[in-house]
Amino acid sequence: MSKITIIDYRKEHQPYFEKFNRQWIEELFEMEPVDEWVLTNPDKAILEPGGAILMALYDGIPAGTVGLRKFDNETFEFTKMAVDENFRRKGIAEAISYASFKKAKELGAKKVILYSNKKNAHAIKLYEKIGFQHVEVEAGVYIRANVKMIIDIEPAVEAANNYGQLFFHETNN
């Protein structure tokens, strides 16, 4: 059985972070200036302001990623979640999503939000499955965002603990 390992992002992961996200963004949409900035400068865009990035390894090979951008002291944005097209349908998106809830709690989150688009139906189905709830999207956040979802951190972490004990191993490097 293949093993999914979730680790903290390191600088050498930037090309994977960018590649995995470009795959889905360019497949469904056009890159926005904010996408270019975040994908080429994840340290400045996500990490330095107090966020985190996780990487999913599949049998030791980088296969997926997710960012947690600090929105305010209690809210983090679940952003730039992507799985390499060669590793989809292996449970990586679900595993890294649950791991992000644990990381968000470590960072002080009370809730996690995300923005998406109805064109990304598979992702939205996953977000609903893992506990995100739909809320009204405010104008002017992202050009392509027509979906906003939120999850409270306590039930999210409880679900992550139940899931994580069975399916993935988390390490901090």
Enumerate the domain spans of the chain: 4-170
Residues with pLDDT less than 50, the chain = 165-173
For 117-142, how does the pLDDT look when each residue is reduced to its tens digit (9 = 90+)?
999 999 999 999 999 999 999 987 88
What is the end-to-end Cα distance of the chain in Å, rounded?
Answer: 24
- pLDDT at position 139 is 83
Kindly report whether the global pTM for this prediction surpasses the value 0.95: no
pLDDT for the residue 173: 43
Residue 52 structure tokens: 């985190």
Count CB neighbours of 81 within 10 A: 24
Please tell me the predicted confidence (pLDDT) of residue 141: 80
Q: Using the 8-state DSSP alphabet, how is residue 171 labeled?
A: -
The architecture of the domain spanning 4-170 is 3-Layer(aba) Sandwich (3.40)
In the numeric block, the tokens 């809830």 are attached to 101
The predicted pLDDT at position 168 comes to 46
CA–CA dist 68, 26 (Å, integer)? 21
